[in-house]
Amino acid sequence: MEFTKKFLRAKSPCADGFRWFVRNVEDGSGYQDALDTLVGAGRVDDACWLLTQFGPTNEVMRVDALGAEAIVFAGTIEVRGSIDVDTVLQAGRSIRAGGGVRAGRAIVAGEGIRVAGSIHSNGTLQAGGDVRADWGIDVQESILCGGDVRAAWDLICHGKLSLTGGAFIGQDLIVQGLVECGKGLSAGGTIVGSDSIRVGRGILAGGAINGGMHLEAGWGIKSGESIQANGSIKAGESLSAGDEIRAGAGYGIYAGLNVQVESWASSAQVRAQRKPEGLMSGCWAGPRIL
């Protein structure tokens, strides 16, 4: 793809960005050359805008290690070692690394992210496909993912966690913002959400499940320890806790919301060490049988 002033003007760029481009990028320059020129001049946001407007390529960057102030690449980034970027790491397609990935402001991939180490962003993490880390994931702002998120260790998110797919975490899942998953949510340790947790399928935790506000699942909710929320607890099918199930003051606990009442005895069981206060629906079945 070659860039001309006419070609760029059709995308309605801001006046300042267009003037800079006309002065510094020759007509007929290659797409990636234009992105590199913008990044090299410190106009990283303009490079990200350009990539968003014109989309990805099939080009592949293959290097042993990658370190820079910023990287905006239209294709796939493949690094045999680690990636360390001071501000923005953005790829039009996938990001793959044999080590860890760190960025100071944002990690963005049009498709998936796959790393053999940890993922750390002091800003956001965004991917159009699946995100997988063989170690942990630590993000200071939000995570937005068009697929599943998988981490062998902890996932810590200080903002909103929004997934089209599900989350499958080997240890603890800790989120400071709203949690929204189109599919399931599973953690080997505890699940802690400072806001509401809403999941299209089921929630499973080896430890406790704590919701800062409401806790909602389209299927069942199962915890090795307690299930607690400061708001309501709603499950489309069964609720099962090794310890107590407790909703917030004045809120109810609902099981079997997505199954017929006559099926509650088998598909909407509520099990805990003692019958929860405020149980509004479902079939109380006593303590869980180990």
Decide if 108 is inside a domain.
no
Decide if 141 is inside a domain.
no
Q: Which of 283, 190, 179 is nearest to 239 (CA)?
A: 283
Whole-angstrom distance, CA of residue 184 vs CA of residue 49: 33
Whole-angstrom distance, CA of residue 154 vs CA of residue 149: 12
Decide if 85 is inside a domain.
no
Q: Which of 108, 105, 6 is nearest to 49 (CA)?
A: 108
SS3 39: helix
Contact 203, 169 (CB under 8 A): no
Split into its structural domains, the chain has a count of 1
Whole-angstrom distance, CA of residue 99 vs CA of residue 1: 32
The pLDDT of residue 30: 82
Decide if 257 is inside a domain.
yes
The pLDDT of residue 120: 98
The pLDDT tens digits for 239-260 are 999 999 999 999 999 999 999 9
The pLDDT of residue 54: 86
Give pTM, 2 decimals.
0.92
Whole-angstrom distance, CA of residue 179 vs CA of residue 159: 9
What is the span of the domain harbouring residue 282? 160-290
Whole-angstrom distance, CA of residue 145 vs CA of residue 105: 17
Decide if 275 is inside a domain.
yes
The mean pLDDT value of the chain amounts to: 93
Decide if 33 is inside a domain.
no
Q: How far apart, in Å, are the Cα atoms of 260 and each of 199, 201, 236, 257?
A: 20, 17, 10, 8
The pLDDT tens digits for 79-121 are 999 999 999 999 999 999 999 999 999 999 999 999 999 999 9
Decide if 129 is inside a domain.
no
Decide if 20 is inside a domain.
no
Q: How far apart, in Å, are the Cα atoms of 10 and each of 7, 53, 200?
A: 6, 10, 40
The pLDDT of residue 86: 98
The gap from C-alpha 53 to its chain's centroid, in whole angstroms, comes to: 23
The pLDDT tens digits for 145-190 are 999 999 999 999 999 999 999 999 999 999 999 999 999 999 999 9
